[in-house]
Structure 1
């Protein structure tokens, strides 16, 4: 059933108080964060959080991340805070880092997909934290998009996907980081990265001498029991099929141009996801420049928006240049590979 969706500007304090009231009363509010927009509900209210899964069309074995504005809120969420968690919170909170810890009984099983752990982060976004503070509740908030679609990095993306399905959308403009938070499991002796994001493996290795990377990040695994969002299902997908070409830049350019000719001769409309270094190497009318290879954070920031632009262009297939898997490049390629359904050609 369609519902009336209120659009609230982030500078509207009265509107933000209204958003908090909606959350307290069991409603759904899309809120901006520094990573992507999140679809929020009271994390301690099972009926409220069920609405998230319905609005998004999200599988219920895919756990949610709980967002807090103050570390005092952890008391309602976790059994204990490991020493490693304290170290990471001191270093990276507020920020794009989610920690997996043992949950307490107050956390509904629907939040954790029945697991005994819960994913928690404190966003580094003034509006997100203000709304959580006004609601005085921990807020469960996966990305505010239809499940499987490219994550929303602009309020217009949320409106496109969820208007009529949620109670309110807080418009905070474009997000900054552009990819979801890094998820780290701190329940074992060695911290384990379950999802790469804005805090890189290299950042974590500046804190700890050893960090594990979950084997599921190396490819498809249909049998995985996800402890973190983004581990199991096809994610971030545009309407078009997508193919990644990996290699040296000149190799990628040559191969993409060859594939472009092959696909267009078959009558397909082709989009090309290029970078600043290659933008003059392709037909300009169907090329989107996602960012600068010398500054990969620009690629992360623009990636999801670029996929949605290709949707608006109604392309049939997207040919994408891969990026180096270093620093935030690991997060970019994680999202890109999932968006492409792991259709990758290594040169």
Structure 2
């Protein structure tokens, strides 16, 4: 344990994960970071702070939350170096993964700002011996290559994630999520037909035939696995149906997604509305598509979510035949008004 724990600490120090740049990005001084670390000087306290930050991901502005979570990771790495504890290692892994999620999905920062955090999260999950959390990290590592057309790399990381999950009691939710991620990878790689067997398997795993909801596990999924559920699986399916040209099916599935989302799921709600706008555009109803995109932008303006804005721009490109219509021009004006410089981020290079 000490050797692996020091590897986590060394990774943090080598990449300056917790260097002053994270504090500067949030306008926080090194002294303030020290006080925060003092408040999380025991494993239980550190875990409580981890849970609070996890909850804030769904409600707080990402550019402000990012440096706070980065500082929390530094405090945890230091705590691990002083007193190896699997609970802290799990919390460090979860928090480093959260930084990478904010950087990738919310702010769309580059690989240099995302990948080192994923590396740290994986090292900490290994330190804790948590196969499910390690699988979750590897699953997230598949997004970037899938979105950039590197199919072999994306599928390889998903295979590694499944192997990691199978080595421990990862539970069905992580297995279903990995299949859902794999389905999105197939869509992104131009193979939407390949998504549906994966989505069917995920549904069978998540909701076994003849089983009561949640009966697959007495304890349920781990608390950190808060980004996946039955309605979110429907969201993956709706996106695949849209990509496959099954517009009517996509509409029904995406409306089912919206109906099942919790009140704090505005990020998924924004993506789902954007996909519904894509379905409206495909059905040659550009005015409805624009109305839906305005709803997306209302959600994005409250909190910020670059992934949803990307979906908006994708649908806007499909509206090119109606570019001279007033409702499209109004959408263009709103998109132009919302453009702003990317936020500062923790510097991953020492």
Same fold (TM over 0.5): no
More strand by share: 1
More helix by share: 2
